[in-house]
Amino acid sequence: MTTVIVVVVVVGLLVGLLAIRISNRRRPVDGVASFRRHIDALSPEARREVIDRVQNARDSGKGK
């Protein structure tokens, strides 16, 4: 019984260490992805909708 518990604890620790290592390895990839998302969200195409919406409202207000 004790041997089983020891084996389970050791396996658990190994899985935990492996998970930490994998998550650490993934971090730079996440950084690249989030930076890409950030830059894409600032592109002129992404901003067009907001600028057009306000520009159109302003133009229609002037026309009245």
Partner 1 sequence: MARDLAIDLGTANTLVYMKGRGIVLNEPSVIALNRQTGEVLATGREAWQMIGRTPGYIVAVRPLRGGAITDFEITERMIRLLLQRVGVSRFTRPKVVICVPSAITEVERRAVTDAARRAGAADAQLIEQPMAAAIGADLPIDEPVGNMVIDIGGGTSETAVISLGGVVALEAVRVGSFDIDAAIQNYVRREHGIAIGERTAEEIKVAIGSADPIGDENEAEVRGRDLMSGLPKTVLLAPEEIRFAIDDVVSSIVASVVRCLAKAPPELAQDFLVRGMYLVGGGGLLRGLAQRIERETRVPVRMSPMPLEAVVLGAGHCIEHYEALKGMFMGARR
Q: Report the interface residues with partner 1, using CB under 8 A.
A: 34, 37-44, 46-47, 49-51, 53-55, 57-58
Exposure of 61 in the CB half-sphere (CA atoms within 13 A): 6
Least Å from the CB of residue 18 to partner 1: 26
Separation between Cα atoms, residue 55 and residue 22, nearest integer Å:
48
CB nearer to partner 1: give 22 or 41.
41
Separation between Cα atoms, residue 30 and residue 14, nearest integer Å:
24
CB nearer to partner 1: give 49 or 63.
49
CB nearer to partner 1: give 23 or 55.
55
